Amino acid sequence: MKQILAIPAAGKGSRLHSNVPKLFTTVSGTKTVFDFILESLNPEIDLVLLLLSPEGKVYFDTHVAAQAPAQVQVLIQSEATGMFDAVNQLVSHVLSLSEDFRLILQWGDQPFCDQALHDAMWKDLANHDATVPLVWVENPYVQYRFSEQGLQVAERREEEAVDTHGFKDMGIFGLSKSILEQTWAAYAEQAQPGNVTGEKNFVKYIGTLHPQFKVFWRLDQPFYKSLGINTPAELAEAKLYVEQREQLTK
């Protein structure tokens, strides 16, 4: 059973006002988002797939490749056309592999999804079709709203109503090969574009899995692991968190 970590990271980091791809944004000292992700790698992970823009690939080759682990493989998204297209390219690639696999899909702006979380998710996938860690937050950007009628996934960026408090994902998702084989092609074909962006949305795919499949909703993770870095304010929060954590361990 191959264990694959796939990271869509072809975004340009424009909201960070940076010329460096978000994946290689410095969080603390000289450590980048990618450095934090590398620290989380279990030795049993067989393949790390990075989906980069052409410019990101140049940056990787120039500044990162020499120190990157051997299991890192880079794919190129020639044009940034949204997260769904990035995930579709990664999923299509892993489904072309002959081996059975378990996949963790992690956004390229999530530095704090650590080895303990990865290990828990690999174990989840031994008994479930999918695993999705959720945290309870105020004004979720993406809300997973559960009811007797099923699951609704709402996105603020598409001007869909979200509650004042609710569950949001942590930017990390575990998926088995079997569930992708059964569901991905149909979703990719039938998914409706968002009201505002006009893009198909990956998180809506997660909503289609419940309750037909065995999805493990992991609710035991601390909020800090969900911190993503998309804006200067979020980067400042991540830097402050790391500084405070380092003070505690001195």
Please, how many CA atoms are within 13 Å of residue 55, restricted to the half-sphere of its CB? Answer: 12
- Please report, for residues 56, 84, 150, 163, 195, the alpha-carbon distance to residue 201 in angstroms, rounded to integers and kept in the order given: 23, 5, 19, 20, 11
pTM over 0.75: yes
Task: Encode pLDDT of 171-197 as tens digits.
Answer: 999 999 999 999 999 999 999 999 998
Q: Which residues contact 152 (CB under 8 A, 6 or more apart)?
A: 144, 145, 207
Residue 241: other Cβ atoms inside 10 A: 16
**Where does the pLDDT of residue 43 fall: very low under 50, low under 70, confident under 90, or very high at 90 and above?**
confident
Question: Residues 29, 105: contact at Cβ < 8 Å?
Answer: no
Model confidence at 141: pLDDT above 80: yes
Where do the domains of the chain lie?
A: 2-248
pLDDT at position 16 is 74
Judged on CB neighbours under 10 Å (0-12, 13-18, 19+), 30 is: exposed
- Please report, for residues 62, 66, 126, the alpha-carbon distance to residue 106 in angstroms, rounded to integers and kept in the order given: 24, 23, 19
**Where does the pLDDT of residue 22 fall: very low under 50, low under 70, confident under 90, or very high at 90 and above?**
confident
**CATH code for the structural domain at 2-248:** 3.90.550.10
Higher per-residue pLDDT: 28 or 141: 141
pLDDT at position 153 is 96
- Please report, for residues 69, 168, 238, the alpha-carbon distance to residue 226 in angstroms, rounded to integers and kept in the order given: 24, 9, 10
* Residue with token string 């954590």: 245
